């Protein structure tokens, strides 16, 4: 082989200056990047180096480059800080399995000396066992706490409330409402039993409670209007209600029923469902009232805003139970 060829860099001047992998097809005088840019592709001479023995010890063997495969970073700055995935080549990068199309073709970042200083000697490289444990630890969700459950419940309540007020977006499902109410009761039971009703948590509880109360108040207002008026008051033509599934023992089962402006139910069936909704709602809110009043001594004492919120919640619970009772008295 000619000496001038042996002493030329394997990367052109442009790729070498930008620290990018230089890919050149056999027989081509230009690399792929210079061909795309339609610019001159020059290969400068290699800088003087030490002995071959020292060079081979410091320079890892580079794998054969396939120009049609995207090259991923061997390590990002975030990886270096967190101590994750200290990979040495593209084949062992876990991100390559799903995100290979994110990076431009031909890009390759080399591990620098400054990066290697961020790693302790015994963790470069990490064993597969330690690496897997760290990845699982950082990706695994933390234990679900009452605060997380309250936040999720608040979002669900807001969606339910918007659906109850305007049924143009999605149907209103009673089973979902009862599920959210049961979940809220379970959460406040955990909070009160564990003495976790601090000011911030109580504000979140009050937010969820206010949304649930608004939903039930709207429902029973509409139920009373339907009972007192025949035909019932007009509604938006886009409204949809999903009545809950009914099951008596293991034999008699009535599936959930979709009711809208064009698909109605008979007056007898409507009365049956209104009665069931009244009974189920009363049971849920009576259970909630018992739960809160059972810890009244703990939540109504003190000088912060916490006692005010819990006291107001108990007062509104009593008002809603009275509304449910009055609705029940209107049913045949």
Q: Are 148 and 155 in contact (CB under 8 A)?
A: no
pLDDT at residue 136 tops 50: no
Collapse the DSSP code of 240 into the 3-class scheme (helix H, G, I; strand E, B; otherwise coil) and give the result: strand
What tens digit of pLDDT does each residue of 251-267 get? 667 778 888 777 878 88
Average pLDDT over residues 189-201: 82
* Residue 275 CB coordination number (10 Å): 14
- Out of 32-46, 129-143, 195-209, 306-320, which region has the weakest mean confidence (pLDDT)? 129-143
| Strands of the 257-260 sheet, one edge to the other | 172-173, 240-243, 257-260
Is the pLDDT confidence value at 73 over 90?
A: no
Burial of 225 from C-beta contacts in 10 A (0-12 / 13-18 / 19+): exposed
What are 271's two structure tokens? 């009365």
Selection from 160, 155, 139, 138 nearest residue 217 by Cα: 160
- pLDDT on residue 21: 84
Q: Where are the alpha helices (DSSP H) in the chain?
A: 3-6, 13-17, 32-37, 52-58, 77-82, 113-116, 128-139, 146-165, 174-193, 199-228, 267-294, 296-299, 306-330
Average pLDDT over residues 25-53: 75
To the question of pTM greater than 0.75 for the whole model, the response is no
Sign of CA dihedral 21, 24, 30, 36: negative
pLDDT tens-digit readout, 258-297: 887 778 788 888 888 888 899 999 999 999 999 988 887 7
- Name the residue with higher pLDDT: 247 or 225: 225
Lowest mean per-residue pLDDT among 190-194, 273-277, 311-315, 324-328: 190-194
- The Cα 230–Cα 233 span in angstroms is 8
Q: Where in the chain is the domain with CATH 4.10.240?
A: 8-43
Question: Average pLDDT, whole number, for the chain?
Answer: 69
pLDDT band at 216 (very low <50, low <70, confident <90, very high): very high
**85 in Cβ contact with 93 (< 8 Å):** yes
Q: Among 4.10.240, 1.20.1330, 3.30.1540, 2.60.40, name the CATH number for the domain at 8-43.
A: 4.10.240
């Amino acid at each position: 082989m000619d000496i001038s060829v042996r002493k030329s860099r394997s990367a052109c001047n442009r790729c070498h200056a930008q620290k990018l992998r230089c890919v050149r097809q056999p027989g081509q005088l230009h690399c792929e990047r210079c061909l795309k840019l339609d610019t001159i592709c020059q290969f400068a001479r290699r800088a003087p180096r030490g002995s071959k023995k020292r060079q081979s010890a410091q320079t890892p063997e580079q794998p054969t480059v396939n120009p049609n495969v995207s090259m991923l970073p061997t390590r990002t700055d975030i990886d270096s800080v967190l101590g994750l995935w200290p990979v040495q080549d593209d084949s062992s990068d876990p991100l390559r399995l799903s995100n290979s199309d994110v990076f431009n073709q031909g890009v390759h970042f080399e591990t620098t000396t400054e990066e290697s200083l961020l790693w302790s000697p015994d963790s470069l490289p990490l064993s597969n066992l330690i690496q897997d444990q760290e990845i699982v630890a950082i990706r695994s969700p933390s234990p679900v706490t009452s605060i997380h459950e309250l936040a999720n419940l608040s979002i669900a309540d807001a969606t339910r409330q918007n659906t109850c007020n305007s049924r143009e977006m999605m149907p209103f499902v009673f089973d979902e409402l009862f599920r959210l109410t049961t979940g809220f009761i379970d959460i406040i039971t955990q909070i009160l039993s564990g003495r976790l009703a601090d000011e911030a948590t109580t504000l979140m509880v009050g937010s969820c409670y206010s949304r649930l109360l608004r939903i039930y108040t709207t429902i029973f207002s509409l139920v009373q209007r339907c009972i007192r008026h025949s035909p019932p008051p007009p509604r938006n033509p886009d409204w949809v209600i999903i009545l809950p599934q009914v099951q008596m023992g293991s034999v008699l089962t009535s599936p959930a029923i979709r009711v809208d402006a064009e698909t109605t139910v008979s007056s007898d069936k409507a009365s049956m469902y209104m009665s069931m909704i009244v009974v189920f709602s009363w049971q849920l809110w009576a259970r909630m009232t018992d739960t809160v009043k059972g810890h009244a001594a703990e939540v109504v004492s003190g000088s912060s805003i916490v006692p005010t919120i819990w006291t107001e919640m108990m007062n509104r619970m009593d008002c809603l139970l009275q509304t449910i009772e009055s609705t029940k008295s209107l049913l045949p």
